[in-house]
Amino acid sequence: MAKKIAFQGELGAYSHEACADNYPDHEPLPCGTFEDVIEAVNSGRAELAMLPVENSTYGRVADIHRLLPSSGLHIIDEAFTRVRISLMALPGVALGDIKKVRAHLVLLPQAAAFLTKNGIAGEAAADSAGAAAELVQSDDRTSGVLASDIAAQIYGLDVLARDIEDHGHNTTRFLVMSPNTKLERRGDHGMLTSFVFRVRNIPAALYKAMGGFATNGVNMTKLESYMVGGHFTATQFYADIEGHPEDANVKLALDELAYFTSEMTILGTYPRSAERDA
């Protein structure tokens, strides 16, 4: 039986594409919510989870950072998927026939210039791949869907236009998560370490905590804050740094961080993707 990798969305979603491109030996397992993805791995129905964390155009994916610390899973890899938007419709339909397209709310503004030029109205859908499946059932020959090419292949739709996104850099970063840690050094482009922490309630605690990374020459590639527990005074931080916890300079920086924090949890140590340099 093939190993499975869980993702949020329908077959044909960009998360499905990320699974197919990076783990072709795993069977994709679609799930309704991010919580369902995590549960699928924790219950043993899937070996891995593919979770989006940020998009170069849209920014941070809501809810993910809140879920990671309590997920029981560990980051073992990162993956980048270029979001190439295609307009698809029922077989035989021409571009000039399309009056309306449906897509996830986040996708519509990313193709605004193309839609305006062609006089096509946009309508938000819960899921772009799901909208493709619904189009097949509707037999609507004046509507199309914005989604990935893989959605057109799965649902038997014709692609009328490709790469219609406004920005050519549109890319989503995913984290690959497993119930087991993988701390060994691997890959050819260095290692990354991700962690969450809360600073102690003392003056300049965050400034002092970050100072250890600067003085020890550790490159921090991401630092984000978000509220926890619904309290404006309870702030948690998510960070990515270059390096492995066993590196001398990283160890010193994390030791200094621990002094100024009330909680600190390493979420994973994993290979730095070559896509970062592309």
SS3 string of 44-59? CCCCEEEEEEEECCCE
Residue 232 has pLDDT above 70, yes or no: no
User: What pLDDT shows up at residue 234?
Assistant: 59
Cα gap 37→204, rounded to integer Å: 38
What pLDDT is recorded for position 170?
86
CA atoms within 13 A on the CB side of 105: 2
Integer CA distances (angstroms), 187 to 18, 48, 66, 152, 168, in order: 19, 19, 28, 33, 27
User: pLDDT tier at 57 (50, 70, 90 boundaries)?
Assistant: confident
Say if 4-83+170-178 and 191-272 have the same CATH topology: no
Residue 70 has pLDDT above 80, yes or no: yes
> What average pLDDT does this structure show over 28-35?
96
The number of beta carbons lying within 10 Å of the beta carbon of residue 211 is 15
CA distance 238 to 225: 6
| 20's tokens | 């197919």
Which pLDDT does position 192 carry in this prediction? 98
3-state SS assignment for residue 218: coil
Report which of residues 59 and 7 the model is more confident about.
7
**Is 232 considered catalytic here?**
no
Contact between 40 and 6 (Cβ < 8 Å): yes
Which of 81, 172, 193, 261 is the catalytic position?
Answer: 172
| Residue in 6, 3, 2 with CA at minimum distance from that of residue 29 | 6
Length of the chain: 278
Mean pLDDT of the chain: 92
Hey, what CATH class is 86-161 in?
Answer: alpha beta
Burial, 224: exposed, middle or buried (Cβ in 10 Å; 0-12, 13-18, 19+)? middle
Q: Is 237 a catalytic residue?
A: no
Q: Return the axis-axis angle of helices 205-215 and 248-259, rounded to nearest 10°.
A: 170
Section 238-243 average pLDDT: 96
Q: What is the CATH number of domain 4-83+170-178?
A: 3.40.190.10
pLDDT in tens, 154-207: 999 999 999 999 988 889 999 999 999 999 999 999 999 999 998 877 788 888
Q: Thinking of the domain 191-272, which architecture would CATH place it in? A: 2-Layer Sandwich (3.30)
Q: Which position among 34, 114, 174, 260 bears the catalytic label?
A: 174
- CA dihedral (196, 185, 251, 240) in degrees, to 10, reads -30
pLDDT over 80 (residue 231): no
Q: What local confidence, expressed as pLDDT, does residue 247 receive? A: 97
By CB atoms closer than 10 A (0-12, 13-18, 19+), residue 267 is buried
Question: What pLDDT was estimated at residue 49?
Answer: 98
Here the tokens at position 84 are 């190439």
Domain ranges in the chain are: 4-83+170-178, 86-161, 191-272
Which two three-digit tokens encode residue 189?
């482009």
**Phi, psi of 196, deg, nearest 5:** -120, 150
pLDDT at residue 209 tops 90: no
